[in-house]
Structure 1
Amino acid sequence: MNRPSYEVAVSKNRLRYEFISIGAKGHIQKIVEYSYVNSLNVWNLGFGDFDPATGRISDSVISDNGDGRKVITTVALTLLQFFEVHPTETVIFTGSDTRRTMLYNRIVLQFYDEFSDRLLITGLNQEGIEVDIETGIQYAAFIIYKVS
């Protein structure tokens, strides 16, 4: 991938990734965290701004720092790093609200061709059924597997 991305600090188990977004609103700490959802037997990709007041990730903040493409590229690259250590696992992600889910739908379509040789990306339709990705369809969530 030849898109600009941020340098990432990675935890030893490759479940937490931290980087700094640099843009119009200053320096904003971003976190990508993979957490296991036992009931679904998948890993959830969580992403957002670090909130120093709570010590948690806020996935509802709209940073609008002017570097969205670079941030999304960085998040996408964490998937490749995650799968280096966890190659047989499954990752799922969705937006924290309808607007973000729609944004993620657009982003997945933009990145799909670049990652399709390394990652199998499917969509969860509105009925909760896993299906192949098609242009023009809105998915409730995305499921990602490493291509063998």
Structure 2
Amino acid sequence: MNDPFYEFTSLNNTTRFDFLSIGKREIHKAVIYSQSADPQIFFLSLANVSQEDLLDFVTTSNNGDLKVVLATVVQTLITFLDIHPTVMVAFTGNTPSRSRLYNILISQELDQVSANFIIFGIKGDRIELFTRNSCYDSFLISRKNVNID
């Protein structure tokens, strides 16, 4: 993904990345990487950050800068996987339409990212290599060197 992205700051030992979304208004955002029960898998979440440093994972901002925000999330993912090259990152949309958006974006960027990353799509309880024109509920991404057990 070669789109412009916002400058971000790494916090909490590289499990949180903060940036400022500058669209219709300025919104403090955070990308959080939280470890699952499996130490090899982290979950990616995007949140709005309140002035009290509370995280809001539900509100859709509609700030007019979606492409730049998503490009920033991708850049934090690349940074996170550079620092933690043996883990996998799982993510999903918080709505079905957001998951469809992720399907579309991954399909568009698949050729470019395939050189360094492996992306899996998850449908129900089935995990498969991501393929275009398929509809997935959630996604799993890792560096190519990671073994999936």
Determine if contact 1:47/1:57 at 8 Å carries over to the other structure: no
Contact 2:40–2:86 (Cα < 8 Å) also in 1: no
Q: Counterpart of 2:98 in 1: which secondary structure?
A: helix
1:41 positional shift: 4.5
Separation (CA, whole Å) in 2 of partners of 1:48 and 1:135: 28
Moved runs in structure 1, 4+ residues, more than 3 A?
none
Question: What is the CA distance between 1:40 and its match in structure 2?
Answer: 7.6
SS at match of 1:48: strand
- The separation in 2 between residues aligned to 1:41 and 1:81, in whole angstroms, is 17
Q: Which residue of 2 aligns with 1:106?
A: 104
Q: Determine the structure 2 residue equivalent to 1:92.
A: 90
1:57-104 deviation digits (Å, cap 9, x = unpaired): 222211111111111001001111001111001110011222222222
- For residues 107 and 91 of structure 1, the distance between their equivalents in structure 2, rounded to whole angstroms, comes to 17
In the aligned structure 1, how far is the partner of 2:54 from the partner of 2:21? 17
SS at match of 1:77: helix
SS at the partner of 2:115?
Answer: coil
Give % identity. 32
User: Could you tell me the TM-score, scaled by structure 2's length?
Assistant: 0.88
TM-score, structure 1 normalization: 0.89
**Mapped contact 1:93–1:143 kept (Cα < 8 A):** yes
CA shift at 1:111, angstroms?
Answer: 2.5
Task: Report the RMSD for the aligned CA atoms in angstroms.
Answer: 1.7
1:4 aligns to what?
4
Quote the residue 1:134 is aligned against. 131
**Compared CA separation, residues 108 and 15, structure 1 to 2 (3 A):** same
Within 1, Cα distance between the matches of 2:44 and 2:23?
Answer: 24
Which residue of structure 1 aligns with residue 68 of structure 2?
70
- Is 2:45 the counterpart of 1:50? no
Consecutive unaligned residues of structure 1, counting only runs of 5 or more, are none
